[in-house]
Structure 1
Amino acid sequence: MEVFKDNDLPEPTTLVEFTAQVSSQAALEAGKCYYVDTMEALVGGDRPFLKTVHMEAEHTKAKDKATQMYLEKNKYGRKNQTVVEKYQALLHEELDKMFSKYSQLNEAKNVFKAARTPATLFSVLMFFYLMSGVFGLFGMYAFANLCNLSMGAFLVMLAVWAYVRYSGEYRDAGGYIDELATFLWENVIHPIYQTYMERHLKEAAEQAAQHALSSTLTNGKVKTT
């Protein structure tokens, strides 16, 4: 009798609509299970790091296959297209959320990315150390002291980052240090390194081409004589 006293009565549901919802939910779970099994085989557990481009491609394939499985198994839901589309959109939303979690898991396995922060901090630290010596050599002690101060700051950040990684405490501080290291890497260190490498590779290619050309000319002269 309490049900009839409530003003918020549930909306009536036909047997066809109820059957469509149950069928769609079961098909949705089947699609999710397929997606989870596929992604676990790719990046789950002890699986090694997978390139982001490849992982996105595999995600798209697994998502399409899960959608196809959802539609194939949803036999009783086909009579109500509205319910089918609603649960299909829900399936896509949940798969995208799971992909985000798998992406984070995969990125955590990237050894080079994990080592980026300490490598960047140490590189900047050594830069200030060398510059401090140069300024001190020329008697520019104010700049040398400034470099020493900066070197000390980066040394403290490196120690804090190592402590955060070891203890799991003060993760916000570790996150800020990671963001700073990423900014320095992407905007300072990596462009300089890339420019330096491109220049030397270009010089090496030119030298190799000149050597090959001179060898060809020498061999040609020998043959003509």
Structure 2
Amino acid sequence: MASPKSWICDTAETYCAVFASGELPSPKAMLEATAEANNLAAKSTSKEFYIRAMEQHCGGDRPYIHPNQLDVLHKEVRRQAIEKFRCARKMGGEEMSLTYQQDLENEILELYTNYKKHNDSKNVFAFSRTPTTFISSMILCYFVAGILDTLWLGSITFIFMFTFWVCFVLLFVWLYTKYSGEYSEIGEYIDYFADVIWNNAFQPAYSKCLQSAMRSVLGHAKTA
């Protein structure tokens, strides 16, 4: 059933349109206005239901999910939203109801298109910091281990090679969670771990290198 707030707003808007001519409307016009308000309220409530359900699974604060899972979710929530619209108490007959139901389906399709784009954008953004962090860590560990091995410091080399393989496994698991959409919580933990490494190790080093490069460029510019 439509929420009282939605019903009142839709009814007021419809009645304002009826009385806009300045003439006293006929009973038939009032009946049609009431039927239109009923259908508008039912459509609005069903649309809000779809949005709330989708936001819980693929909203802005939710991780990336596999496109197939998103499609299955959309179809199920869409079915429930349309069923909710059909079960709502409405006036105006089947023909008017079908018209508003078609409008609802079109609006839901537009919403789903936006959710798909937003979900895809999460996948693109995910393929930046986390893999860069782990790959950089692997290269660094391998390079340091090679130097230590040359200096006959094998016991310390083991630590860096162990870190190398830990990063490799985490990267492999992370890639699986992102491509398959499964075990998304594990992917979130790995993202968090990569953020900690990036913010406390690579980001400060990158900032210092950038500042040093900028000072060097400015120094050459002054002497030129």
TM-score by length of 1: 0.47
Larger radius of gyration: 1
**Structure with bigger RCO (C-alpha 8 Å, 6+ apart):** 2
